[in-house]
Amino acid sequence: MFHIPIDPLRHWRETILLSAFVLIILAGVFLLIRHREVRWENRWLWGQSSAVIDTPGAPHREPDIVQEERRIADRFLSDTLPNFMRSGFVVRFVQAEAGTILYVRSKFWAARTASFKREFLMQAVLYNKYYRPSLYASVRDHDSQRLLAEAFSIRDIRIYS
């Protein structure tokens, strides 16, 4: 009779290897499901899909600060900008693929206080945060450039003379 050597650890190695493969497959499936949920949540948050996502737990609600920022951004487009364009404060408001360029008359801008400038620029920045890709602020003085850079961390500021 022939004696076939039996590896006593072979059974354990196969079990461990099979368990590792199963864990890898389960982790991959979990990550794919999670990635799809996040994508759908993002589409739902930004209004790109009207599909209702059935997730366990409480329904998703935006934080109060986000709701306030959106309200300010909406107010900028519906109230602030048209009023300033009628009064001659804003000369042009150009929206392009690269961003938004806001042209303001220098004599009106110079006559305004720093708090007014900060409020106006904050509304413009929030508008662009939620509705446009970026903001290019067309300011005619270096104080406004400094104000934008400090208050809103905007790096690309064009000063027109």
Q: Residue 69: name the closest of 116, 129, 117 by CA.
A: 129
Long-range contacts of residues 104-111, Cβ cutoff 8 Å, at least 24 apart:
104/138, 104/139, 104/140, 106/140, 106/141, 109/139, 109/140, 109/141, 109/144, 110/140, 110/141
CA distance 143 to 140: 9
* pLDDT digits (tens), the chain, 161 positions: 566 666 666 777 888 889 999 999 999 988 877 766 655 554 444 444 444 444 455 455 667 777 888 888 888 778 887 887 777 777 776 666 555 666 777 777 777 777 887 787 777 777 777 766 555 555 555 666 666 666 555 554 454 43
Is the model's pTM score more than 0.85?
A: no
Q: What sign for the dihedral angle of Cα 130, 134, 140, 144?
A: positive
Contact assessment for residue 136 and residue 114, using Cβ atoms and an 8 Å cutoff: no
DSSP string, 105-156: -HHHHHHS-HHHHHHHHHHHHHHHHHHSS-EEEEESSHHHHHHHHHHH----
